[in-house]
Chain A
Amino acid sequence: MNHKLELRNVTKTFNTEEGEMEALEGISLVVKPNEFLCIIGPSGCGKTTLLRLVAGLDQPSSGEIILDGKEVIGPSPDRGMVFQEFSLFPWRTVLKNVEFGLEIKGMKDKARRELAEKYIELVGLKGFENCYPYELSGGMKQRVAIARALATEPAILLMDEPFGSVDAQTRNILQEELLEIWKRTKKTVLFVTHSVDEAVYLADRVAVMSARPGCLIKCLDIDIPRPRKRTSVEVNEFREQLLMLLSLERSKACISV
């Protein structure tokens, strides 16, 4: 099977006070198993909306989303999500946060703990199990969020600008770590970002979205072997292509506003 996730002509319209607002228009996309796909687009183009639809947190107005041959109808732990905002439960320790999804599943204490500890170790936070989120830095919080999303062993990992609110150096480290985790867990990753650098460094393929109403205008295969060098010539060529596509979209957005 070569389709992990398939979006068929997905649209999303929101009802606002000024009338209907079309957020997404006819999105069709296929994500392959074990692929790292980045979605990039000008701000307000509906990247986050798209990810929320795949997560099942919102319903598409039309079209269908199919994961492993089954239509997505609501949220489920087979799609792990890491949010842009800090989403750890502040009343739970790191361990308890990672255990959350397993608790809901009804897993036994001991098995739950072992699995949670495995993922905490995977994100490099061994020794912080009993810390509360307020004791952690922004980067550490997002690592816990990744561990929490992975703990339920989802079929796909959805990431909504997860490193948007950490500083640039930490972001570079987190990106490297994410690639390592991806390599080890062989997950399919759908990663939304507004950063061209991030997309080119991480992705197998980058899908570029247009300004609102968002639709896919181009998919680029980033066929640079890993580990990639952030400043290499090939990386820069891709960056230039993407930047050009995006600036074109931004100028369109300005005209339509």
Chain B
Amino acid sequence: MKEKKGLHFLKRRGIIETIGISTVVIIWQLVASFIVKKTYLLPSPYEVFFAFYTVREVILVDIYISLLHFGIGLGVGTAVGITLGALMGGFKLVDRAMDPIMEILRAIPPIAWIPFAIIWLKLTHYSAGFVVFVGAIFPILINTYTGFKSVDKIYIDAAKVLGCKKGMSLIKSVVLPYSLPYIAAGTRIGMGIGWMCVVAAEMFGASGRVGLGWRLWNRFYALHMMDKLVAYMIIIGLIALLLDRIFRYLVEERTLKWRKGMVAV
């Protein structure tokens, strides 16, 4: 009993997690310092930490630019994805006409669009944004479509009896709120894919000499500054994590309260 009491502080939130991360960092440091011993093969956490300091000025600009690309692509992708998904979910004719072309387009990796992004939109922010758009739109579209398709008939009947005439008022009052969790889930997946696309498009220089991806590939990799490269990798991962958390906080926990009883979100 006494021993258990002694270890009780471990149950506090964050303690175990901190131990987990620290262990990985320590092992990484030991392997880098005593086994690999070559910075360009495996920079140590210590070196990466200082790399953050040396890149502190450019990194803020790069983050800003990459988020801009991401925002452009996700914004347009969400608007177009929800609209097309709603049209396909709402009208059988649109569904049948668009389904095959969507299936083909969806199968093309977004990165394969980089050449056209550059040719069509030149080396602008819109060019990387376009690649993000291609990456983000399909999960949003498909989830919106699924949401629209799976509305229980009973809710439609109930709304009609309460005075909802066909069309817009049914969509606004029943179909859209019902589909919101689907759309939110699709957007979350789209955000993840979109962020990958930002890095890839920038690596190819789709938007010129800017962004996290561009610098990671064309500066740090090209000059074999692997410590800085790892610093950028960590930042890219942390931003993805942060974006996901912010989205979950804003959308899932606030507006989708009612779903708690139905499924574990």
Contacts and interface: CB of A to CB of B under 8 A. Distances in A.
Interface of A: 55-57, 75-77, 79-81, 83, 85-87, 89-92, 100-101, 103-105, 132-135, 148-149, 152
A104 B261 contact: no
Given A91-B259, A134-B260, 9 more contacts: A57-B157, A81-B157, A81-B158, A83-B157, A89-B155, A90-B259, A91-B180, A132-B261, A134-B261
19 contacts: A55-B161, A56-B160, A56-B161, A57-B161, A75-B157, A79-B161, A81-B157, A81-B158, A85-B154, A86-B154, A89-B174, A90-B258, A90-B262, A104-B162, A104-B164, A132-B260, A134-B260, A134-B261, A149-B161
Contacts of A103: 173
Nearest to B160: A75
B214 to A, nearest CB: 43
B160 to A, nearest CB: 4
Contacts of A79: 161
A100 B157 CA distance: 13
B100 interface: no
Nearest to B174: A89
B258 A104 contact: no
B124 to A, nearest CB: 40
Contacts of A81: 157-158, 161
A163 B60 CA distance: 63
Interface string B166-203: 00010001100110100000000000000000000000
Report which residue of A75, A83, A132, A134 has the largest number of chain B beta carbons within 10 angstroms of its beta carbon.
A75
Contacts of B157: 57, 75, 81, 83, 87
B158 A83 contact: yes
B185 to A, nearest CB: 15
Given A57-B157, A100-B173, A91 B162 contact: no
Contacts, number: 74
B161 A91 contact: no
B257 interface: yes
Contacts of B173: 100, 103-104
Given A57-B161, A75-B161, A101-B163, A83 B154 contact: yes
Given A132-B257, A134-B258, A134-B262, A87 B163 contact: no
Nearest to B260: A134
Report which residue of A79, A86, A134 has the largest number of chain B beta carbons within 10 angstroms of its beta carbon.
A134
B166 to A, nearest CB: 9
B121 interface: no
Contacts of A92: 177, 258
Given A83-B157, A134-B258, A101 B180 contact: no
A91 B178 contact: yes
Contacts of B67: none
Contacts of A77: 161-163
A35 to B, nearest CB: 21
Interface in B184-232: none
B163 A76 contact: yes
A91 B158 contact: no
Contacts of A133: 258, 261
Given A87-B155, A89-B177, A148 B262 contact: no
Contact of A104 (B154, B169, B180, B262): B169
B159 interface: yes
Contacts of A56: 160-161
A12 to B, nearest CB: 16
Interface in B95-143: none
Contacts of B177: 89, 91-92
A57 B177 CA distance: 22
Interface in B17-66: none
A143 B221 CA distance: 67
A21 B154 CA distance: 23
Report which residue of A79, A80, A101, A149 has the largest number of chain B beta carbons within 10 angstroms of its beta carbon.
A101
A55 B180 CA distance: 29
A135 B162 contact: no
A118 to B, nearest CB: 17
Interface in B227-265: 257-262
